[in-house]
Structure 1
Amino acid sequence: MTVIGDIIKKYPDVKINLVSGDSDLIYQRLNNGTLDFGIIIGPEKLLNYHSVSLPQNNIWGILVRKDQLIAEKEKITPQDLIGLPILTSAQSKQQDVFRSWAGSLIDQFNFIGQYNLIFNARLLVETGACVALTYQNLINITGTDLAFRPLTPTVTDQNNLIWNKNRQLSNVAQVFLNRLKEVQ
């Protein structure tokens, strides 16, 4: 966002369109030409796309109400999640992100549903009905009754900026990409 901000300041006539969505939406929009770039998180097959790995990693943990017993823990082990009602992102469920972290204990997890954007899952977590596996700082929980607790051992995912190999970048998109590579 710093690079985008710099471009807007230097070229005030530039217009941007920020789109939030899961990887399926990002791939679709890249392929039909309605997005120049997308950020894909986690292990994805990027054969049809150019990509740049971004320096920030995403840390997995749980979103939980502060008044729940599990919120007292600093870090969450696989044993801590046994029997708890858990929401997870549809993509992490498809990628089986947590199987190596939890090992055979994952078969004792109570996955009650999936979400595609954490904001909606947050609303259910606020009721105390479940916890949600999510990334740290994906949503702002400052001043709420919610807490984030990271998994241990740590589970992280890489951020990748991607763009379609079969489409020529616009001048503005090329300026963005060049500037991003300069600051990395």
Structure 2
Amino acid sequence: MDIRVLRYFIAVANEENISAAANYLHLSQPTLSRQLHDLEKELGTTLFIRGNRKITLTDEGLFLLERAKEIVGLVDKTAANFNQPSEIISGEIYIGGGETEAMQLIAKTIKKVVAHHPGIKFHLYSGNADDITLKLDHGLLDFGIVIEPANKQKYDYLKLPAVDVWGVLMRKDDPLAGKPFIEPKDLFNQPLIISKQTATGSVLSGWFGEAVENLNIVGTYNLLYNASLMVKEEIGYALCLDKLMNTSEESELCFRPLQPKLEAGLDILWKKHQTFSRAAKVFLNYLRESI
């Protein structure tokens, strides 16, 4: 499977039209069509449903598109760290992380790195622990910041000097907003919105003293902003970490911590036995110093 053809495939999937993709790629339409036909023949499957004006992907095409983007991204990431002047430390660093105030420490470390090595570029990816570890495993991220508990068996890691506090995001006009903290009894039978992260279930089960399946879960979220919109519409209470949403005086929302107190530590992970680029080594050294 040629990397060049995968780029062609991605372009056609994005443009949803052979002619438009051919113009974008500076190819003739017959050449591009032949390349796609050969790709389908090589894989032994149909990737496109060809309409009069629009091309859509089959299920197999959607699967290939996801993998093709990962493959092309990894190739580009690798090439970027080689195509740099040898006397200058430069390159591309990819960091993934969930929504956490600990990203402020990462941002401060990046600022120090860039001040001394302006040739180093950083790319940040937002996602939960499941997303982050999957991309680490595929080589698409150099580092990942995850909230404990997390399965760190396959990774080396540093514990970050930060602790996040769990609580409830709710409307300020909600009856529970008058309480200084929220207890398990306050939330029994209430509509709850929780993170879809795998580890969250065990964390919340321990605090509630009840299996998550027995709670009234009305929704899950990947990014808290989307959950906050559901809270504003009075769909439910969002169980989340503190200091991620605007709960200032002008906001409709407020945050109340859990009681008993529930805290989460944070780690930065990287694959065991990973061979770092010079840029990634510099970042890790600066981070160690910051910690």
For residues 45-88 of structure 1, the C-alpha deviation after alignment (integer angstroms, 9 at most, x for no partner) is: 11111000101111100000000001111100001112211000
Contact 1:41–1:159 (CA<8 Å) still a contact in 2? yes
Counting only pairs closer than 5 Å after superposition, residues 45-124 of structure 1 correspond to structure 2 as 45-91=151-197, 95-104=201-210, 109-124=215-230
Contact 1:3–1:179 (CA<8 Å) still a contact in 2? yes
Counting only pairs closer than 5 Å after superposition, residues 169-180 of structure 1 correspond to structure 2 as 169-180=276-287
How many angstroms does 1:166 deviate by?
A: 3.5
**1:28 and 2:125 are equivalent in the alignment:** no
CA distance in 1, matches of 2:139, 2:192: 36
**1:44 and 2:150 are equivalent in the alignment:** yes
- Runs of 4+, deviation exceeding 2 Å: 92-95, 104-109, 138-143
1:158/1:23 CA distance change after superposition, 3 Å: same
Q: In the alignment, residue 151 of structure 1 is paired with which amino acid?
A: L
**1:159 and 2:266 are equivalent in the alignment:** yes
How many angstroms does 1:100 deviate by?
A: 2.0
Q: Which runs of 5+ in 1 are unaligned?
A: none
For residues 128-156 of structure 1, the C-alpha deviation after alignment (integer angstroms, 9 at most, x for no partner) is: 22110000012333331000100011111
Q: Give the helix-richer structure, 1 or 2.
A: 2
Contact 1:83–1:108 (CA<8 Å) still a contact in 2? no
Q: In the alignment, residue 17 of structure 1 is paired with which amino acid?
A: H
Q: TM-score, normalised by structure 1?
A: 0.92
1:90/1:3 CA distance change after superposition, 3 Å: same
| DSSP 3-state at the match of 1:19 | strand
How many angstroms does 1:106 deviate by?
A: 6.5
For residues 7-55 of structure 1, the C-alpha deviation after alignment (integer angstroms, 9 at most, x for no partner) is: 1122222111010011122112212222110001121111111000101
Between structure 1 and structure 2, the one with the greater Rg is: 2
CA distance in 1, matches of 2:272, 2:211: 41
Q: In the alignment, residue 274 of structure 2 is paired with which amino acid?
A: R
1:105/1:180 CA distance change after superposition, 3 Å: closer
State the number of aligned residues: 184
Q: Which runs of 5+ in 2 are unaligned?
A: 1-106
Q: TM-score, normalised by structure 2?
A: 0.60
Identity of aligned residues (%): 36
Deviates more, 1:6-15 or 1:54-63: 6-15
How many angstroms does 1:108 deviate by?
A: 6.1
| DSSP 3-state at the match of 1:18 | strand
